[in-house]
A and B are shown apart, each in its own frame.
Chain A
Amino acid sequence: MTDVKKKQKIEIPVSEMTKGQLLRRNMRVNKVGYLMIAPFMILFTVFTVFPVLLSFVLSFTEFNMIEAPKWLFLDNYTRLLLDDDVFIIAIKNTLIFAAITGPASYLISLFIAWFINDMHPKLRAIVTFIFYSPSISGQLYLIFTIFFSGDQYGVVNSLLLEMSLITEPINFFFDSSYIMPLVIVVALWTSLGTTFLSFIAGLQGVDRSLYEAGAVDGLKNRWQELWYITLPAMREQLMFGAVMSITQSFGFGAVITALCGFPSTEYTAWTIMHHLEDFGGQRFETGYASAIATILFIMMVGSNILIKKMLRKVGQ
């Protein structure tokens, strides 16, 4: 029997195969490849794809984590978009964060990487470490709570008090007029992470001979060199960096909680992540939280597409 089947399959030329047949044939041919990717794909599906899909389904229900979910359809979304003032604040803040810290940290990463790139290798390693360390040193950003402590002994407060610029300590991280600027500074400080490293790697990988060729072709200055040679040559890293910074700036929340408490005074620094945490963790409204997550997901995917389109323009 098997012999017959084999014969039949071999007889059909590839060009005449239906899609299904073609797929099966390719799978058979590349089965080693599938086998090798299987461990990752299984884990990825079970722990990433499946939860995302489940969350999408849950976003149409009312689910309190303990009792069985109740089907609601679009109620969560209508409430979220039309009847939840705090969510609007969250969207506003998230967009501000994404718009400021995303591009800013991206550009800072790029330029610092570019400057560092020409340094002596040993010096470069040291400087790289200095810039990279804030992002890997866990909760080092908490040092800002000492600098900007609301206590009269906080570094900034005691300085200002000593200079008689203020008469009573400012409660920096709890005063709605200071929260946003401070948090953005901290966000930038911690943002020189993976993006930055990938840029350094990308810059290292640019073929030197291209610059010589560029010089011959009449590049006038380093800006032109950067735009026409360096950046196009490291488009993959740019893409990777962009995805990382966008995700980071959209998902920025834990640092704010650590600095300003949960919630920040008058929701001043309330982001979608906070909203998610609030409903998912504190109020046990997982269905509603899933709806928030879905919207956040859509925003991230959307902005990624946008970024991809923009990056295509690099070097043109």
Chain B
Amino acid sequence: MRNPILVKLLCFAMSVLIIAGSCFTVMAADETESENAAASNKASLDEIKEVLDAGSYKEYLERVAELASPAEEGLEPIIATDAYVKEGSEATEATVTDSEGNEVKVLLLPGSGTVKFIITIPEGKGGLYTVAADYYTDGSEIGGDSTIERSFRIDGVLPFSEARSIELSRAWKDTYLTAEDYEVLSTGADGKQFVDKDGEKYLDADGIIKYTDRIMGISGDKFIPYPAFKWDTNGNDIRLPKEQIKNNFLTKYFMDSTGYVSEPFLFYFSEGEHEISLEAVREEFYLRSLTLGAPETLDTYEQYKKANEGKTNNASGMVYIEAEYPSATSDRSIYPSNDRSSAITSPQDPSQTRLNVIGGGKWTEIGQWISYDVEIPEDGYYNISMRFMQSTMEGLFTSRKLLIDGECPFDEAAALRFNYNRGWQLDYLSDNEGNPYEFYFTKGTHTISFEVVLGDMGSILSQVSDVNTHINDMYLEILMLTGSDPDAYIDYQFIENLPEVVRGLRAESENLYNIADELTQIVGESGSNTATLQKTAYLCKKIGYDTDLIARNLDRLKSDVGTIGTWLQSVSKQPLTIDYIILTPAETEIPKDYKGQAGMFEALGFEFKSFIMSFFTDYTSVGVTVDIGEMSEDEIVEVWYQVDRDRASVIRQLIDNDFTPNTGIAVNFKLVAGGSLLPSILAGVGPDVMIGLASSDVINYAIRSAIHPLNEFEDLEENLEQFYPAATIPLTMYDKVYGLPMTMNFPMLFYRADILLELGLEIPETWDDFYDLIPAILANKLDIGYPVGEQGLYLFQFQTGEELYKNYTINNADGTQSTLSGMEINLDSNTALSCFKKMCDLITLYDLPLTYSFPNRFRTGEMPVGIQDIALYNELTLFAPEIAGLWGMVAVPGTPREDGTIDYASPVTATATVIIESKGKDDYQKEWEFVKWWSGKEAQADFGSEVVSIMGDGAKYFTANKEALGSLPWTKSEYDNINYQFKALSAKPEMPGGYIITRYVTFAYQAVYNEKKDAVQEMNSYIDEINAELNRKRKEFELATMDDFIVNDDGTLTPKEEGMILASDGRLYTVEEYNKLFGGGLQ
């Protein structure tokens, strides 16, 4: 890259690629498809390459604006079942019923693969069109819970990079208890009093009536069903699971999923026939039709007002909507929650949990919406006001788009601002000067929806994102010239070598200053947000004009890029919590008892009551619906898990909603601190089931009879089939299975696609490729991360098929032969030693670093390729938002087998769910039911999805259940790659004394690195010590050791003592003992 001619050539090549991109990519796309099955690695890189090459929507719009103008009128809907290409398509036709009961023909688009449609644009109608999909989702029949995502291509070409991710939301509704769940027990003086079906809990009559009025908002004598949450045993609200709304067709425009562009995308269609395609990224759905429409412009508020002038205005009464009872939401994760920060949040209780608000951190992503059905009493003009809290985005506002009956009434309502305040606010939906908007409603039911948008921040964020991407690109160029640790005293001749970069730095500095000014104007103040931008602008200016400073400030430049990336990510989130919504007739005041902040005495009184009540509240049983207080200990399964509160509450919900109702087994679920299992077992007060025990601990406990083996259960085999064998290897010792796997962690290959593409490198498929890659990467002053150590050794060794422990054949006294493993380590075999040497060569010969922080270097691009544990996915998602979409993970490099296939084995470590042995107990059926349920497909999939919906994409759950993996919210390509590796895993068998291996392998490679010792000799020198420890530990547990045998010439072993038989539990018995214990020689 140092050669200016080369740079120019590259630029030329890139521009040619963009201009003629279409033809090239069509060919490339066809090629990729055929290779897809064979090489998943290559496909991953190509995918990102396609997106990077496609360019942004902004560029696309500029380009097509020269070719055509926006269409003036829309075209007839394209009926999916008529227009799709049947040949080679996995789509299937189906008939569903819509909400009115009509049968509708739809096309089921599967969760993988591409579905193509042929459309014809009539003569003279070529132009820019919006695209909208009319679709149908129903979780009970198909697919999972996450948002539907598709890539949209026209004539096989991705028109712009944003078209890679077109999102279509679902519609969910909460389930409440309704009037049918209550019975009128007696009629009070005021006419109504209710009791619930159990006949136990009286709902306060006054409370109900007031409550009912407030919820649906119409006073009078008409009874409105009382939606309510279920109660736990202590009267706290608990929410019921959400359901997808059935028979519901939704219509959505293809829009920008980042929210930077707030209008629907415009696509250019020329006259004639076109092939449009939808490639699955995640989830399946039914498509009725696609509509090409003419872009619409919304009226301004002035125009809207004028249009509604002179209409009947009988507006009266007040409509009150409790926000926690939405009629529909876009995501399962948007659910009611409890607010205790204010005394007057409605409803509120000092001691019990009332689900009284909605939104907050769960309603932040672009495109998520909540809608309410409102009964308007009379035609007329109304103001809409809202009690809300926006206490997250300091110095900024968050935005919502208002839709009335699915339409945004006017332009200003598409970007309503909710300003920052630490407390609750009650305010009208109003313009920036505070004048409330007047909305015209006709009498009857209307739907009001609020959708998350970026609003006025959209253009700012989009610009900052562009600048940041550019600075990051320039940073990489500099990095490849100077290396990651540039010398401040070398003259790198930046102006000669990287003139584009120097110019770019100056330009971007200018841009950032301008954006900061614009931001100040929008927000009305300059604060920490503008400072973030100005800081980087200053740095770019400084080093752009004094290039001698570039080398010295390279680290700062990178960290600034990271800061802006994090800022972009946090500002793109639009949190808003709502308590209630009020519609009042225009030009009337909101009644006085509705206010944002509680009065001082109200607040004090509430806090005091809460404090007093806190002494009487049983916090451990919050959310418990089965009263376990009165049950005997035998009836309850006690389950322990060392985890955080958020995850624990998800598990508890799953238990209460799924496990206990279906099995009738009560569960006492406890959160425990690390290290509490051992003392509790010692004291005899341990749990019945432990979740998430590390695999190395499982055998440690099991061999000391603290864990109950699962072999006695008849359905063990069928349950084990849900896992790949590698996951159960560490939980199995001498034919006994001690637990079912829960999570797995294994190395995969992480790569930075942008850097590999820039350098023209490929993702390594085999170790040969990997070794070819090393010099290519190092030559560019970059590095590769290899997990040197036990994992790194197994990565090589397991792919050769070499065992970790030596296998011996034992000649039994009764003439049979059996095999025994675990007595001696096999690290001294030729293959194993060569694997160890290979690993050591990486740090000595190839000069890869031994110690490094991978996330840091991966983020900065110094280490564009690394083999790391898959758990790193979460860290990178949270920690490095600025490189989102630029990296991926694929299976580790493989070793070619003789039959031409490649072995991608990667060593796995697992956690397990185990049954704890307790003295004098022989019926473990209840515990087993729980273990089966928790390790099973449904519970694992529900848990994984729920955790992600609560805690975000950085909380991905790595289940060991192969069926559940498919139901977790991974994108199609992520799933493909993980699943690819999932199928090819191997594991270290756990044996008594196995901990010693880690220790001596570490000693060995440290000596090779530090003291330049010979790898083979060094490893060999530890073999005796490892074997001695294994021997000692085996003796402790009375397992057969090498001392018990004579080695025969053919390598088999014969017991020293005569008349001994080796049993499947790894111990030697006399024939009599053996027959007694194992039933007459049956093996």
Contacts and interface: CB of A to CB of B under 8 A. Distances in A.
A261 B800 CA distance: 30
In terms of DSSP, what is the predominant structure of the interface of chain B? helix
Interface of B: 485, 487, 678, 681-682, 700-701, 704-706, 847, 849-853, 995, 999, 1002-1003, 1006-1007, 1009-1011, 1033, 1036
Given A151-B849, A265-B1002, A283-B995, A177 B1010 contact: yes
Given A171-B1010, A177-B1010, A266-B1003, A284 B704 contact: yes
Contacts of A303: none
Interface stretch (A62-70, A218-226, A294-302): A62-70
A263 to B, nearest CB: 6
A263 B999 contact: yes
A289 B120 CA distance: 82
B995 A282 contact: yes
A64 B852 CA distance: 38
Contacts of B1036: 62, 64, 285
The 8 A-B pairs of least Cβ separation, nearest first, read A150-B851, A175-B1010, A66-B704, A265-B1006, A151-B851, A66-B706, A266-B1003, A64-B704
Contacts of A266: 1003, 1006-1007
Contacts of A144: none
Given A65-B704, A151-B852, 13 more contacts: A151-B851, A154-B851, A170-B1010, A171-B850, A171-B851, A171-B1006, A174-B1010, A175-B1010, A265-B1007, A265-B1010, A266-B1007, A283-B995, A283-B1033
Interface in A228-257: none
A150 B704 contact: no
Interface in A134-170: 149-154, 158, 162, 168-170
Given A149-B851, A171-B850, A65 B678 contact: yes
Given A151-B849, A152-B485, A175-B1010, A66 B1003 contact: no
A176 interface: yes
Contacts of A150: 850-851
A197 B1003 CA distance: 40
A284 B700 contact: yes
16 contacts: A65-B682, A66-B704, A67-B704, A67-B705, A150-B851, A151-B852, A158-B485, A171-B851, A171-B1010, A177-B1010, A261-B1002, A265-B1002, A265-B1007, A265-B1010, A266-B1007, A282-B995
Given A65-B704, A151-B853, A158-B485, A168 B1003 contact: no
Nearest to A175: B1010
A284 B700 CA distance: 9
Given A66-B706, A150-B851, A152-B485, A174 B1006 contact: yes
Contacts of B847: 168
A64 B705 CA distance: 11
Interface residues of A, number: 29
Contacts of A62: 1036
Contacts of A153: 485
Contacts of B678: 65-66
A35 to B, nearest CB: 32
Interface of A: 62, 64-67, 149-154, 158, 162, 168-171, 174-177, 261, 263, 265-266, 282-285
B710 to A, nearest CB: 19
A46 to B, nearest CB: 15
Nearest to B1009: A171
Contacts of B700: 284
A282 B487 CA distance: 46
Contacts of A283: 995, 1033
Contacts of B1003: 265-266
Nearest to A152: B849
A62 B1033 CA distance: 12
Contacts of A66: 678, 681-682, 701, 704-706
Contacts of A64: 704, 1036
Nearest to A176: B1010
Contacts of B706: 66
B997 to A, nearest CB: 13
A169 B1006 CA distance: 13
B833 to A, nearest CB: 19
A261 B998 CA distance: 12
A12 to B, nearest CB: 50
Contacts of B705: 66-67
A141 B1002 CA distance: 24
A152 B485 CA distance: 10
Residue in A66, A174, A177, A285 whose Cβ sees the most chain B Cβ within 10 Å? A66
A169 B705 CA distance: 47
Nearest to B700: A284
A143 to B, nearest CB: 16
Nearest to B1010: A175
Contacts of B682: 65-66
A265 B1022 CA distance: 13
Contacts of B485: 152-153, 158
A154 B678 CA distance: 38
A285 B852 CA distance: 35
B774 to A, nearest CB: 16
A312 B475 CA distance: 69
Nearest to B917: A66
A99 to B, nearest CB: 26
B528 to A, nearest CB: 28
A149 B853 CA distance: 11
Nearest to B1029: A283
Nearest to B679: A65
Contacts of A261: 1002
A289 B853 CA distance: 36
Nearest to B992: A283
A169 B852 CA distance: 11
Contacts of B701: 66
Contacts of B851: 149-151, 154, 169, 171
Nearest to A158: B485
A263 B847 CA distance: 25
A275 to B, nearest CB: 13
A263 B1009 CA distance: 17
Contacts of A67: 704-705
Contacts of A285: 1036
A66 B850 CA distance: 39
Contacts of A175: 1006, 1010-1011
Contacts of A168: 847
A209 B199 CA distance: 87
Contacts of B1010: 170-171, 174-177, 265
Contacts of B853: 151
B387 to A, nearest CB: 45
Nearest to A261: B1002
A158 B488 CA distance: 14
A291 to B, nearest CB: 15
A31 to B, nearest CB: 36
Nearest to B847: A168
Nearest to A62: B1036
A66 B700 CA distance: 11
A158 B847 CA distance: 16
Contacts of A174: 1006, 1010
Nearest to A64: B704
A38 B849 CA distance: 60
A290 to B, nearest CB: 14
A154 B1033 CA distance: 40
Nearest to A262: B999
B1043 to A, nearest CB: 15
A149 B851 CA distance: 8
B559 to A, nearest CB: 13
Contacts of B999: 263
Contacts of B849: 151-152, 169
A67 B705 CA distance: 8
A124 B1056 CA distance: 75
Contacts of B704: 64-67, 284
A214 B1003 CA distance: 59
A175 B1002 CA distance: 11
